[in-house]
Amino acid sequence: MTPEPVAPISPAQQPVYAVAGGNHVTIELDRSVTGGRLDVIEVLAQPGGGPPPHSHAFGEWFLVREGELTFCEDRDGTVVLTSTLGAGDSAWIAPWIVHGTVNLSDAPTRFQVIGQPGAMSGYFAEAGVRVADSSTLPATQPAGPDQLREISARWGIEFWTGRIDLTTPSNSRGNSPSAGP
Is position 120 within any domain? yes
Residue 149 DSSP symbol: H
Calpha distance 54→57 (Å, rounded):
11
71 in helix, strand or coil? strand
Per-residue model confidence (pLDDT) at position 180? 47
Is position 69 within any domain? yes
Number of domains in the chain: 1
Per-residue model confidence (pLDDT) at position 92? 98
Calpha distance 17→122 (Å, rounded):
11
Per-residue model confidence (pLDDT) at position 145? 65
pLDDT tens by residue, the chain, 181 residues: 777 778 888 898 999 999 987 799 999 999 999 999 999 999 999 999 999 899 999 999 999 999 999 999 999 999 999 999 999 999 999 999 999 999 999 999 999 999 999 999 999 999 999 999 999 999 999 987 678 888 999 999 999 999 999 987 555 455 556 544 4
Is position 27 within any domain? yes
Calpha distance 122→33 (Å, rounded):
12
Is position 103 within any domain? yes
Cα angle 85-88-93, degrees, rounded to a multiple of 5: 55
Helices (H) and strands (E) in the chain, counts: 2, 13
Q: Does the pTM exceed 0.85?
A: yes
| Runs of H (alpha helix) within the chain | 120-127, 145-154
Is position 98 within any domain? yes
Question: What's the domain range around 24?
Answer: 13-136
Calpha distance 119→152 (Å, rounded):
10
Is position 141 within any domain? no
Per-residue model confidence (pLDDT) at position 170? 53
Per-residue model confidence (pLDDT) at position 108? 97
Per-residue model confidence (pLDDT) at position 21? 77
Per-residue model confidence (pLDDT) at position 83? 96
Phi, psi of 126 (to 5 degrees): -85, -40
Is position 7 within any domain? no
CA dihedral sign, ordered 83, 85, 89, 94: positive
Is position 157 within any domain? no
Per-residue model confidence (pLDDT) at position 181? 44
Per-residue model confidence (pLDDT) at position 5? 79
CATH code of the domain in which 91 resides: 2.60.120.10
